[in-house]
Amino acid sequence: LPAGLSQWFPALEVLDVSGTGLAELGAELLALPCLHTLLAKNNRLGGPGSLPKGLGQAALGRSLRVLNLSGNRFLEMPPALFALRGLRSLSLGGNRLHGIPPDIQELRSLEFLYLGGNFITSIPPELANLPSLSYLVLCDNKIQSIPPQLAQLHSLRSLSLHNNLLTYLPREILNLVHLEELSLRGNPLVVRFVRDLTYNPPSLLELAGRTIKTRNVGYAPSDLPESLVRYLSLASNCPNPKCGGVYFDSCVRQIKFVDFCGKYRLPLMHYLCSPECSSPCSSASQSSTSQSESDSEDEASVAARRMQKVLLG
């Protein structure tokens, strides 16, 4: 960066140095008291000295709100970042990160965190200590599990996890009451969904029940055995607002939606972490399998109403 930058542009608020081949951001930045947005994408940052020393104590450390370092060569998140207590948006996608340090919890003002396209294998529980985080992008990594603590992110609205190694989700994720977008395609979880959808279709009883309900076929209790009348009373509407279908046995129990092939909206039926699932990442013990079927379905119905939108990839 040119010397005297702060003298030439003392009131500079937005600086974009993306794609300029920079290997370090010079100390000149530290004297820009009004800079709130710094874009340094697609450079050669990542080595020692990439960020100026004393970043957190300088004027820039207090003013910066948006920092984009995507498309660089960082092997780990620079410790200097965690001193940027006013940071609201941080992007480190397309780097070479292998983990997320627990110090991420120091960025208490963070609302948007983009870490897609790295080599991250796990999510630290400390990530849940970000009270304002609304958008979390962890796609295209190597993540195998989601810590149940993530359910403490009560402000979270969008969670992108596609193209990872997930085989289940913890049932605690139901506590994300404001979650509107969930992206899961490209995980073994969805591969299993497709496999089961192909080889384990609904029973004839459920298919008949769906037909009766969706076509509004009339019947009286005296027309059918009591068990069938009771079964038909268990029909629930698909939580997908664009689907007019119903379900019985293949009930939605936990997380309700998955984007499929980046195009369609489909309900993810009972293939996630249900009370019968012994996911090692869930705080629900095996004893939870004794919970009644009706309790599970009631819980699912409440959650289904909470999640009205689905990410379309």
What does the buried/exposed string (b/e) look like for 176-199 if buried means 16 or more CB atoms within 10 Å of the residue's CB? beebbbbbbbbbebbeebeeeeee
Q: Which secondary structure element, helix H or strand E, spans residue 112, and what is its range?
A: strand 112-114
Place of tokens 């293949």: 250
Phi, psi angles (nearest 5°) of residue 112: -135, 125
Between 143 and 203, name the one with better pLDDT: 143
Phi, psi angles (nearest 5°) of residue 104: -55, -25
pLDDT class for 124, splitting at 50, 70, 90?
very high
- Residue 84 backbone zone (phi > 0: left; psi -120 to 50: alpha; other: beta): beta
What does the buried/exposed string (b/e) look like for 57-84 if buried means 16 or more CB atoms within 10 Å of the residue's CB? ebebbebbbbbbbbbbebeebbeebbbb
Whether 57 shows a pLDDT value over 90: the answer reads no
Number of residues in the chain: 313
CA quadruple 306, 307, 309, 312: dihedral, nearest 10: 170
CA gap 151, 235 in Å, rounded? 29
Q: Which CATH number fits domain 5-196: 3.40.50.300, 3.80.10.10, 3.30.390.50, 3.30.1380.20?
A: 3.80.10.10
CA gap 241, 263 in Å, rounded? 16
Residue type, 121: T
Instruction: Flag the least confident range among 137-151, 177-191, 263-277.
Output: 263-277
Q: What is the pLDDT of residue 189?
A: 77
Joined tokens for residue 77:
């998140």
Residue pair 31/54 in contact (Cβ under 8 Å)? The answer is no
Whether 91 shows a pLDDT value over 80: the answer reads yes
* DSSP-assigned beta bridge partners for residue 267: 257
CA gap 275, 149 in Å, rounded? 18
Whether 26 shows a pLDDT value over 70: the answer reads yes
pTM of the predicted structure, to 2 decimals: 0.66
The predicted model gives 158-165 an average pLDDT of 92
Q: Name the percent of the chain lying above pLDDT 90.
A: 40
Q: What is the pLDDT of residue 28?
A: 82
pLDDT class for 32, splitting at 50, 70, 90?
confident
The predicted model gives 79-92 an average pLDDT of 94
Joined tokens for residue 99:
């983990």
Of the candidates 204, 250, 239, the residue with the CA atom closest to the CA atom of residue 212: 204
CA gap 12, 18 in Å, rounded? 16
All residues at 6 or more sequence positions from 72 whose CB lies less than 8 Å from its CB, including other chains: 40, 41, 42, 43, 44, 45, 46, 50, 92, 94, 95
Instruction: State pLDDT tens for residues 97-110.
Output: 999 999 999 999 99
The predicted model gives 119-125 an average pLDDT of 97
Residue pair 143/117 in contact (Cβ under 8 Å)? The answer is no
